[in-house]
């Protein structure tokens, strides 16, 4: 995890993506790239540019699954060899419950039931973060933009599962799969990690 950074920490190939960006976007982008380089270093990969692809997603080294997130002034990245963990996604949110009027846009009743008996605002934030992490894990395989209705959440014993919704655009995609979501609510933040289900 890193703090926001400045443009000087970026490689030339990364600077190109920030030519017209506002200072806050540059800071979060640079902090995210610093966190990503630290995560890759954990795999034994030397510091290198992590450019932005045509779809604005990071272009990772071959054979690596990784994800970046940021909230407030914190940036975090996770990375693994695809041979060990083929896909993963991470999301960090400020731990503020979702206002009641926004809950229906984010979470279905079934999604909220996965978090019963938590209050709706907190449950909706957990749904939002879980779906963000799942989206980040699945999108690099599926490469199709979809809304929150593309993923549903459910409990299976003690595990929280994120799955392509049966009526959604991703359900019949060959790369669609179920993910396990792990979440931590600490220090004023909610962290969600999406990993392939066994």
Q: Could you report the per-residue pLDDT of 60-108, keeping only the tens digit for each?
A: 999 999 999 999 889 999 999 999 999 999 999 999 999 999 999 889 9
Q: Is the pLDDT of residue 3 over 80?
A: no
CATH, domain range 87-198:
3.90.470.20
Share of the chain above pLDDT 70, in %: 97
Does the structure show a pLDDT above 70 at 2?
no
Average pLDDT of span 42-57: 94
pLDDT in tens, 141-193: 998 888 888 999 999 988 999 999 988 889 888 888 999 999 999 989 999 99
Domain ranges of the chain: 1-63, 87-198
Three-state secondary structure string covering the chain? CEECCCHHHCCHHHHHHHCCCCHHHHHHHHHHHHHHHHHHHCCCCCCCCCCECCCCCECCCCCEEEEEEEECCEEEEEEEECCCCCCCEEEEEECCCCCHHHHHHHCCHHHHHCCCCCCHHHHHHHHHHHHHHHHHHHHHHHCCCCCHHHEEEEEECCEEEEEECCCCCCCCCCCCCCEEEEEEEECCEEEEEEEECC
């Amino acid at each position: 995890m890193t703090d926001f950074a400045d443009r000087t920490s970026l490689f030339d190939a990364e600077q190109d993506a920030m030519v017209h960006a506002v200072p806050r976007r540059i800071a979060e982008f640079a902090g995210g790239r610093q966190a990503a380089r630290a995560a890759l270093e954990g795999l034994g990969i030397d510091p290198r540019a992590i450019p932005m692809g045509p779809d604005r997603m990071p272009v990772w080294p071959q054979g690596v699954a990784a994800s970046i997130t940021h909230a407030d002034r914190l940036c975090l990245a996770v990375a693994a060899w695809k041979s060990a963990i083929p896909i993963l996604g991470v999301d960090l949110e400020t731990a503020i419950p979702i206002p009641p009027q926004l809950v229906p846009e984010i979470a279905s009743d079934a999604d909220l039931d996965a978090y019963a008996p938590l209050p709706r605002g907190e449950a909706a934030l957990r749904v939002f973060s879980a779906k963000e992490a799942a989206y980040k894990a699945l999108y690099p395989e599926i490469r199709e933009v979809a809304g929150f209705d593309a993923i549903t959440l459910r409990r299976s014993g003690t595990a929280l599962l994120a799955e392509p919704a049966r009526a959604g655009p991703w359900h019949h995609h060959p790369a669609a799969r179920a993910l396990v979501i792990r979440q931590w609510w600490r220090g004023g933040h909610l962290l969600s990690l999406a990993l392939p289900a066994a």
